[in-house]
Structure 1
Amino acid sequence: MHESFSAIFLDPVILPATHVTGFVILILVLLFLAAIAAGAEVAFFTLTVKDINYLKTREQPGSRQAIQLLDDPDVLLSTLRASKYTLAVAIIIAANYMTHIFLPPLENPYLSFVVNLVGITFLLLLFGEILPKVYARQNNVRLALFAAPIVRVMFSIFRPAASMLTDSNEYSDKKKARKKLLDMDSREFEETVELSMGHTATKEEVDIFRGIMKFGSITVKQIMHPRLDISAMRESWTFPKVREKMLAAGYSRMPVYKANIDEIVGMVYTKDFLPYTEIDDFDWHSLIRPAYFIHQQKLIEDLLHEFQQKRNHFAIVVDEFGGTSGIVTLEDIMEEIIGDIRDEFDEEEMNYRKIDDDNYIFEGKMLINDMCRVMGLSFDTFDEVRGESDSLAGLVLEISGKFPTVNERISYNNFDFTILSIDKLRIGRVKVERSA
């Protein structure tokens, strides 16, 4: 037995120079991949909501791959660990041969084995574990972008084995705990608020606490006014037409575009026109101010800080291709916390009508999140079918897969959507019924 052990692990192996170079390159490559796996394990699972939304705004392939990998965090973590352990075994085997080539064998074969083991273990811990994880904690977004293509390959190779592993991790635990908190029904939430406040909280107080709780995870896309609802002015219009448009719209700020709404060139403020209202040949283009553009995945928490710093109340929302998605205002952000804000100039506009607790009639342009808020539903109720849609009309189109007709009923789980009106290829009113 002693002879077989010595023959396999301890006897020196003499290889040609080309083979030695090949082993060195092989070990370096394996060590690099092991470092990527160890670093990615920290980088991916320390990404905050803000980091993930930042990755969504990047157009490079690595960002999209990183987001796709995070869709299944449990399997991703198991894949990274399986990759790391497999690569470590491969490094140990390759390095064992290398030490026999470069180092003379010791008289005691067991001492030689221990020296090799300690040296290889130190190499693995330092360059394949400690340094990558230290770097990943300080540069998690950068490493996630860099490692995503490599991890994608590892994911494809080791996914079958990783899927069979049941491994809990801090990221998934936090995600599940947060989802459970967000899915908490109104009664449970009210009881929690009452316990924390020490008295019976009013509905308004509960709504404000709920808004604060969700404020840090809401994106601009969820609260913006879609592009179909934007009132804007064309750059080529004459001043009388611009004046007529502003008086009809009744807004304090309006975007200005060239050929279409995707080519916004600036903003105009109603107050700037007051000294010139009687001058028909006035060149109103001198009053155009720069527009403020933001991405639709920006968190409204960050946007609020930017509004405060820049003393701005209005932003143009763009998608990943630079097209105009909608607009968002400071008032929209504040309404997420304290509810609807109406002043003496606002018209009483109801985008929905309540029939009973389970039956409502909504306007098709109403945001899905607003509909869920009115009906007391969780914001992720329709996440599986909503796709990229933000409005109720878009949700109906996603579920139906075609443009519906008037009085057509479309069902999803325990919800029935009945189309009540259609105006110029736009879904008008929709009746939403919730069954028990």
Structure 2
Amino acid sequence: MSDPYPAADSTTPSVNPNRPRHSLLDRLVSLVRREPEDREDIMVVLDAARERELIDADAYSMLKGALAMSEQTAMDVMVPRARMDMLDASESIETLLPQIIETAHSRFPVFEGSKENIIGIVMTKDLLGHMINPDLTLRELVRPAVFIPETKRLNILLQEFRRNRNHIAVVIDEHGGITGMVTLEDVLEQIVGEIEDEYDIEGEKTIFADGNHAWRVMATTEIEVFNETIKTSLPEGEYDTVGGWLAHELGRIPKRGDTVKFEDLQVEVLRADARRALWLRVRRRHLANAFNTKTQGR
């Protein structure tokens, strides 16, 4: 039987005592002698593998995203309650069809009486039954909703989504109040980046008008294009895109709900993954406020 603890020989890499204890080489040498003990060890291996081109950029990004999931919670990626598209159980399916078609979701939370009272989830495909039976009500199509705390870790949530074949969960705070919702797509985007479909972008356009002196902007929009379209002067620096500027201003990776003000603009992060901002909402504050004041005075 071989010695499980062989003495070092001439083929074993030696560590220079003059080198800093936690240098990259020291860590790599220690890793080949044992299994990684923590996330930092794993990241050293990933960084080294990427540097040696053993894995490509996409694989590297996905692995980093997967590792980051255990530190992220439902609150980090959820759609806030104010932006949730919900259906009122008291409305007829025929009345709700325009909203369903416009938003193009595959699933909707359904509330009764108050938006705090979510009674379940309805799948868009189930609404096809209305064509056969016009008397069918939304209440009859509701499926049970899954409720999760804001603190639910994304890696655990992903396991639950897979195990229960569920694609959506309603997020609640410590008092049981509705704070948002999270979908399987929201979780997977933390690993693979934004999942785009035919409803996400229109050709190569990256800035879309969004109501009262507001725009929906892809974070990859170039600063020059943004300034020309919005008629502003966002500064250029060590970044080329609006998302890069936002990360620079925040001093970290943007998260959903982050807000930054620049001159008369307010920039809010609508969607983000573990690595970057994806979609932003930009509005001109003084014009929007003036419009709201005028409207309230009518």
TM > 0.5 fold call: yes
Spell out the pairing of 1:172-321 with structure 2 (5 A cutoff).
191-194=47-50, 198-199=52-53, 201-277=55-131, 279-321=133-175
Matched, 1:336 2:190: yes
1:358 maps to 239
Contact 1:295 1:319 in 2 (8 A): yes
- Counterpart code for 1:351: M
Q: Distance in 1 between matches of 2:240 and 2:93?
A: 47
Note the C-alpha offset of 1:278. 6.0
Note the C-alpha offset of 1:265. 1.1
Please give the per-residue CA displacement for 1:13-71, whole angstroms capped at 9, x wherever unaligned. Answer: xxxxxxxxxxxxxxxxxxxxxxxxxxxxxxxxxxxxxxxxxxxxxxxxxxxxxxxxxxx
Matched, 1:391 2:257: yes
Contact 1:315 1:329 in 2 (8 A): yes
In structure 2, relative to structure 1, the CA distance for the partners of 1:237 and 1:424 (3 Å cut) is farther
Note the C-alpha offset of 1:227. 1.6
Contact 1:235 1:285 in 2 (8 A): yes
Q: Distance in 2 between matches of 1:201 and 1:277?
A: 51
Note the C-alpha offset of 1:303. 0.6
- Report SS of the residue matched to 2:119: strand
- Report SS of the residue matched to 1:340: coil
Q: Distance in 2 between matches of 1:240 and 1:231?
A: 17
Q: Distance in 2 between matches of 1:354 and 1:296?
A: 34
In structure 2, relative to structure 1, the CA distance for the partners of 1:424 and 1:324 (3 Å cut) is farther
Q: Distance in 1 between matches of 2:41 and 2:69?
A: 14
Note the C-alpha offset of 1:189. 8.9
Note the C-alpha offset of 1:193. 3.0
In structure 2, relative to structure 1, the CA distance for the partners of 1:199 and 1:229 (3 Å cut) is same
Q: TM-score, normalised by structure 1?
A: 0.41
- Counterpart code for 1:392: D
- Report SS of the residue matched to 1:312: coil
Q: 1:421 aligns with which of 284, 290, 293?
A: 284
In structure 2, relative to structure 1, the CA distance for the partners of 1:189 and 1:314 (3 Å cut) is same
- Give the count of matched residue pairs: 208
Note the C-alpha offset of 1:290. 1.1
Contact 1:256 1:264 in 2 (8 A): yes
Query: Whose strand fraction is larger, Structure 1's or Structure 2's?
Result: 2
In structure 2, relative to structure 1, the CA distance for the partners of 1:378 and 1:209 (3 Å cut) is farther
Structure 2: stretches of 5+ with no match in the other structure: 1-37, 207-216, 224-235, 268-281, 290-298
In structure 2, relative to structure 1, the CA distance for the partners of 1:293 and 1:191 (3 Å cut) is closer
In structure 2, relative to structure 1, the CA distance for the partners of 1:359 and 1:258 (3 Å cut) is farther
Note the C-alpha offset of 1:306. 1.0
In structure 2, relative to structure 1, the CA distance for the partners of 1:391 and 1:320 (3 Å cut) is same
Note the C-alpha offset of 1:203. 2.2
Q: Distance in 2 between matches of 1:283 and 1:264?
A: 16
Q: Distance in 1 between matches of 2:242 and 2:53?
A: 36
Q: Distance in 1 between matches of 2:90 and 2:106?
A: 20
Spell out the pairing of 1:55-94 with structure 2 (5 A cutoff).
none
In structure 2, relative to structure 1, the CA distance for the partners of 1:207 and 1:377 (3 Å cut) is farther
Q: Distance in 2 between matches of 1:359 and 1:343?
A: 25
Q: Distance in 1 between matches of 2:265 and 2:77?
A: 29
In structure 2, relative to structure 1, the CA distance for the partners of 1:407 and 1:310 (3 Å cut) is closer
In structure 2, relative to structure 1, the CA distance for the partners of 1:320 and 1:285 (3 Å cut) is same
- Report SS of the residue matched to 1:263: strand
Contact 1:243 1:277 in 2 (8 A): no
Spell out the pairing of 1:129-208 with structure 2 (5 A cutoff).
191-194=47-50, 198-199=52-53, 201-208=55-62
Spell out the pairing of 1:100-115 with structure 2 (5 A cutoff).
none
Give identity over the alignment, percent.
26
Note the C-alpha offset of 1:279. 4.9
Larger Rg: 1
Contact 1:221 1:390 in 2 (8 A): no
- Report SS of the residue matched to 1:282: coil
Name the Cα RMSD after superposition.
Answer: 3.6
Q: Distance in 1 between matches of 2:240 and 2:41?
A: 26
1:406 maps to 264
Note the C-alpha offset of 1:289. 1.0
Note the C-alpha offset of 1:228. 2.2
1:323 maps to 177
